[in-house]
């Protein structure tokens, strides 16, 4: 299954965010560190899965997307890399300010992993764009 239109992609993201919200509320009610870690892992896997099933204009629908390709455009990859990097930095600062926890550390690692994947996608897509220009 591949999602190619903006409408399809919006529906997938809204559903993913809704599921995340429900899980956040449920796990927050449990006050469980383990549940927070599970949520972070599920969110990270969910966002990575989305990058596997979305396709941009001109991108082959049937073929598998290369593991490093997170978006169809370098700019979007760069923006998302910067966003995840900023989230990681904020959480690192908060951890050093005394708000650290095991689940916070797992969140930082997830943000760094996704940020790194988006940064790699940005670099590779940029080099492809330069080579074809």
The reported pLDDT for the residue numbered 18 is: 92
CA–CA gap between residue 88 and residue 16 (Å, rounded): 21
Residue ranges covered by each domain of the chain: 6-132
Whether 96 contacts 30, CB under 8 Å = no
Q: Mind listing the pLDDT tens digit for each residue in 49-71?
A: 999 999 988 888 888 899 999 99
- The model's confidence at residue 117, banded by pLDDT at 50, 70 and 90, is very high
Q: Residue 60 has what pLDDT?
A: 87
pLDDT of 89 > 90? The answer is: yes
The pLDDT tens digits of the residues spanning 91-104 come to 999 999 988 889 89
Question: 54 phi and psi, to 5 degrees?
Answer: -80, 145
3 φ, ψ (degrees, to nearest 5): -110, 120
Angle, in degrees to the nearest 10, between helices 102-132 and 33-53: 10
Q: How confident is the model at residue 124 (pLDDT cuts 50, 70, 90)?
A: very high
Tens digits of per-residue pLDDT, 3-48? 988 899 999 999 989 988 888 888 777 788 888 899 899 999 999 9
């Amino acid at each position: 299954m591949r999602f190619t239109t903006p409408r399809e992609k919006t529906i997938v993201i809204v559903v993913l965010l809704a599921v995340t919200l429900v899980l956040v509320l449920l796990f927050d009610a449990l006050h469980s560190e383990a549940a927070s870690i599970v949520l972070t892992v599920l969110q990270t896997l969910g966002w990575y899965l989305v990058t596997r099933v979305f396709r941009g204009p001109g991108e082959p629908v049937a073929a598998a997307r290369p593991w490093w390709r997170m978006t169809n455009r370098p700019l979007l990859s760069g923006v998302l890399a910067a966003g995840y990097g900023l989230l990681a930095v904020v959480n690192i600062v908060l951890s050093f300010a005394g708000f650290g926890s095991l689940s916070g550390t797992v969140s930082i690692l997830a943000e760094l992993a996704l940020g790194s994947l988006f940064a790699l996608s940005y670099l590779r897509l940029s080099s492809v764009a330069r080579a074809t220009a």
